[in-house]
Amino acid sequence: MTKERLDRALVNRGLVESRSRAQALILAGQVLVNRQRELKAGRMVEAADTVELVSPMPYVSRGGVKLAAALEAFEVNPTGWHVVDIGASTGGFTDCWLKHGARHVWAVDVGYGQLHWQLRQDPRVSVYERTNARYVTRDQLGLEDGVDAGSVDVSFIGLRLILEPLRNLVKTQGLVIVLIKPQFEAGPTAVGKGGVVRDPAVHRQVLYRVLEDAAGLGWAPEGLIASPIRGPEGNIEFLAALRLDGDARPLPIEDVVERAWQGEGAHG
């Protein structure tokens, strides 16, 4: 009997438009095989197997689910805001900002050709590809004034290198939500096989250092949660709310990490 990968089956059965979309839904836990949740895109399925979606993905990628959780947890209402999205990639964060009422989003990414076509055609989105956020300026983005808020989802680079130039893009008291990826913040000796951080102590160390670095750059930490969805290979990630020139609040880092490891804040 012929078998095929689950991500291909989703496309071939007309449930999604692309394999990348299928993979995002699978990783987000939105796909059932024979009424059982399946988290592996490479799972082989037969024609007789029932494949269905738990619910349609509300955003163009699973990143939108992460940002939506942060907006809810931090009680952020971005209606009418101008936002810069650093590391836009497919556009999950950008899409989430728009669906929550943002007026305009500047989608910035060092890559090319990744942003979802729906967002490319949206007049509320300004696309800046092949753009290194470490050196981006207001003039480059055509900004006369600072934006109301920002978001950051980057890989293979420490957040400190992004937060410093971001000061020049966001207005005073502006809010930035950053996705903290311990696998890219911890030293190589702290990251296990497959690029996965398997020690909660490393998570705590990373969070303390990243938030301390942010405060040193003028970004006051206001909130912290574990991402509701894990990153690639099952990495636990975190979302923090930072206020430019704001008043820092004590954050329950120990509790957030503990809950994440107990499975209360991050799912595969």
Tens digit of each residue's pLDDT (9 = 90 or more) over 121-131: 999 999 999 99
Helix (H, G, I), strand (E, B) or coil at 83: strand
Q: What is the pLDDT of residue 89?
A: 93
Q: Which residues are registered as beta bridge partners of 37?
A: 32
Quote the Cα angle for 152-154-158, to 5°. 100
Q: Which residues contact 36 (CB under 8 A, 6 or more apart)?
A: none
Between 262 and 95, the more confident residue is: 95
Do 86 and 138 fall into the same domain? yes
**What pLDDT score was predicted for residue 264?**
53
Using 50, 70 and 90 to split pLDDT, how confident is the model at 1? Answer: low
The answer to whether 266 touches 226, Cβ cutoff 8 Å, is: yes
Distance in angstroms between the alpha carbons of the first and the last residue of the chain: 30
Q: Which of 53, 71, 91 is the last residue of a domain?
A: 53
Least Cα distance to 171 among 83, 77, 73 occurs for 83
Average pLDDT, the chain: 91
Q: Which CATH number covers residue 7?
A: 3.10.290.10
Question: Is residue 154 located within the same domain as residue 188?
Answer: yes
Tell me, yes or no, whether 121 and 197 share the same domain.
yes
- Give residue 72's domain range: 63-261
Tell me the pLDDT tens digit for each residue of 65-123. 899 999 999 999 999 999 999 999 999 999 999 999 999 999 999 999 999 999 999 99
Same-domain status, 77 and 97: yes
| pLDDT score at 83 | 98
Domain CATH code at residue 115: 3.40.50.150
Same domain for 110 and 218, yes or no, is yes
The total of structural domains in the chain comes to 2
Same domain for 82 and 197, yes or no, is: yes
- Pair 173, 134 in one domain: yes
Q: What are the backbone dihedrals phi and psi of residue 255, each rounded to the nearest 5 degrees, phi first? A: -70, -40
Q: What is the mean pLDDT of residues 132-141?
A: 95
Look at residues 7, 65, 14 and name the one whose alpha carbon lies nearest to residue 38: 7
* Average pLDDT estimate for 165-183: 96
pLDDT of 39 strictly over 80: yes
User: Out of 59-63, 67-71, 130-134, 191-195, which region has the weakest mean confidence (pLDDT)?
Assistant: 191-195
- Looking at residue 187, its pLDDT comes to 78
Tokens (6 digits) for 249: 């609040």
**Closest by CA position to 214, among listed 244, 181, 252, 185:** 244
What's the confidence (pLDDT) of residue 175? 98
Q: Does 267 have pLDDT greater than 70?
A: no
Give the pLDDT score at 268: 40
| pTM, entire model | 0.80
Residues 31 and 78 in one domain: no
If pLDDT is split at 50, 70 and 90, which confidence band does 189 have? Answer: confident
Q: Same domain, yes or no, for 35 and 74? A: no
pLDDT average, residue stretch 129-136: 96
